[in-house]
Chains A and B, each alone.
Chain A
Amino acid sequence: DVKVTQSSRYLVKRTGEKVFLECVQDMDHENMFWYRQDPGLGLRLIYFSYDVKMKEKGDIPEGYSVSREKKERFSLILESASTNQTSMYLCASTPLTGYNTGELFFGEGSRLTVL
């Protein structure tokens, strides 16, 4: 089974702190994504990456950056956390080819609270 592992299920940070959210997938998927999920707003794409060291902005990239140094790992960085970044963050990966093309395999989510 595909496994997407997010490093932290729950985090509490203070305003202004730097926050790292780590995501690792074990199926050699090319594409990886970071979403945030808020009540009434659904899933919104922050950034995605289609290859090592490659990244593309999603719909809401402001206040976030990402890093993909290895194919299996995609990190989301909040340089200076703010209260409006309190949210559930979901990492996902998907293969480029095959029957599962486009199927998003999600991690369990990281619920971040910024005080």
Chain B
Amino acid sequence: KNQVEQSPQSLIILEGKNCTLQCNYTVSPFSNLRWYKQDTGRGPVSLTIMTFSENTKSNGRYTATLDADTKQSSLHITASQLSDSASYICVVIINAGKSTFGDGTTLTVKP
């Protein structure tokens, strides 16, 4: 069983709308949790980092939350743009040598 589960698997929204992606994990303990954005055919790029003691972190239109009690994280995208179309991957980092990846959520933003 994957220790990092993401939902939904895919999502289609209209440009300008908001959306929330979910990440449930069982990995424990961990150093930090990151959300990565991966454009089609490109390598993943880090969006946010959260340590286990942080609840929320923003990066422009992206806001990540973390609830260490329920072992859930979410990524909220505000006022979506066409360029937000990508795969979003939740990664739980145990230490500098070990990370556990979710399978990703594929987001499509339509005009």
Report which A residues bind B (CB closer than 8 A): 4, 30-31, 40-43, 48, 50, 56, 90, 92, 94-96, 101-109, 111
Contact = CB atoms under 8 A, between A and B. Distances in A.
Contact of A103 (B43, B46, B97): B46
Is the interface on chain B under 10, 10 to 19, 20 to 34, or 35 or more residues?
20 to 34
Contacts of B49: 103
A102 B43 contact: no
Interface of B: 2, 31-32, 34, 36, 41-46, 49, 89, 91, 93, 95-97, 99, 101-104
B97 A50 contact: yes
A103 B96 CA distance: 8
A57 to B, nearest CB: 12
B43 A42 contact: no
A56 B95 CA distance: 15
Contact of B41 (A104, A106, A111): A111
A106 B43 contact: yes
B96 A95 contact: yes
Contacts of A90: 43-44
A42 B42 contact: no
A60 B43 CA distance: 20
A111 B46 CA distance: 21
Nearest to B99: A104
